[in-house]
Amino acid sequence: MITEFIITAGEQPKRLDLFLVNRERDVSRSALQRLIELGRIRVNDQVVKPSHKIKPGDTITMDVPKPEPLSMKGEAIPLEVLFEDESLLVLNKPPGIVVHPAPGNWTGTLVNALLHHFQISGGTISTIGGKERPGLVHRLDKETSGVMVITKTDTAHRALASQFKLHTITRVYEALIWGVPKKGRGLIDLAIGRDVKDRKKFSARTTSPKESVTEYVVDRRYGKVAAHVLLYPRTGRTHQLRVHLTSLGCPILGDHTYGGQKVRTVQGVEVPRVMLHARTLGFSHPATGNVENFTRPVPGDMEKVMNELEQLIVPGEKALRRPLTVMRVEEDVC
């Protein structure tokens, strides 16, 4: 559908994509940027960049195609659904499943499972994330387990995305780490970005550092060789928790990418995967406004490692167990 309009007098000069995102409420900024780059949105019949500054008198022409149906196929993969209504679905993601399709993982993903679920139930799924990431406002790494929220409508997607952006999402992570931090509680403030030497990793050794802050609390010490920690990320950078704990000299058990071979076994205790779990997720329901909180305990494989680590505690050693607390944090950090 082609529409055309003229920028009215009094409009302050601003980026084209920022102007349109406030005018076209049903289209995301990323989608608008793609349309601009494809030449489907023009200014004075000229192809421009998303950063082009519009001004009064400019004529904007938009050729926005109809949404294409999702081409991904649903797969009968079991889901542990914690909550579902017309707006969203909350689930407990098991470890070992990739969230969305990508090179090397085009099938068997959480998205495939969701598409099958909605095909059977007759429900819908938000299309803002595109064909490969429908309904996703955040994600967890393949080996990370825990609570995730999926949006079923574009309205719910925009509302939750806004909460993530405004830091009003509540989240608590749990991790088992190699060694024990010197302080029982602390704040890790370390800007990170894609590593200059290894593009698959993130670190402080980067040309484009981004502010990254994580609060941690040591919940349990397993002698001097390992610990159970609670994590409260205040920002949402890729691999943030993994990088920040490594910066303390305490990489997550099982995370050989950042901890090497030493974190795969702790004094005879085998570690099957990255020991990171998204325990608690809280948000304001996009339709009702009610505050919703969901918590799930660690899965069986992580509980097994924790039980085996208990055997490493020296008899008579003072045990440390802190109460689980909840803080407001951001998304997409594992």
Residues 225 and 304 in one domain: yes
Task: Name the domain count of the chain.
Answer: 3
Let me know: does 224 contact 180? Beta carbons within 8 Å.
Answer: yes
**Binning pLDDT at 50, 70 and 90, where does residue 72 land?**
confident
- Give the model confidence (pLDDT) of 255-294 as tens digits: 999 999 999 999 999 999 999 999 999 999 999 999 999 9
Evaluate if residue 179 carries a pLDDT over 50.
yes
221 inside domain: yes
Catalytic member of 17, 141, 154, 255: 141
Q: Count other Cβ atoms within 10 Å, centred on residue 185.
A: 12
Domain harbouring 276, CATH code: 3.30.2350.10
**Catalytic annotation present for 141:** yes
- In this structure, the answer to whether residues 180 and 256 fall within a common structural domain is yes
- Lowest mean per-residue pLDDT among 16-25, 117-126, 306-315: 16-25
pLDDT of residue 122: 82
Question: Residue 57 sits in which domain range?
Answer: 2-63
Phi/psi zone of residue 46: left (φ > 0), alpha (ψ -120 to 50 degrees), beta?
A: beta
**pLDDT tens by residue, 139-172:** 999 999 999 999 999 999 999 999 988 888 999 9
Q: Are residues 214 and 114 in the same domain?
A: no
Closest CA to 231 of 244, 246, 216, 218: 216
Residue 260 CA to residue 270 CA, distance in Å, equals 14
> Which stretch of DSSP H or E encloses residue 15?
strand 14-15
Is 125 in the same domain as 52?
no
Strands 276-284 and 145-151 come out as: parallel
Rounded CA-CA distance 139/128 in Å is 15
CA distance to 3, 50, 230, 253, 321, per residue, from 40 (Å): 11, 12, 47, 48, 58
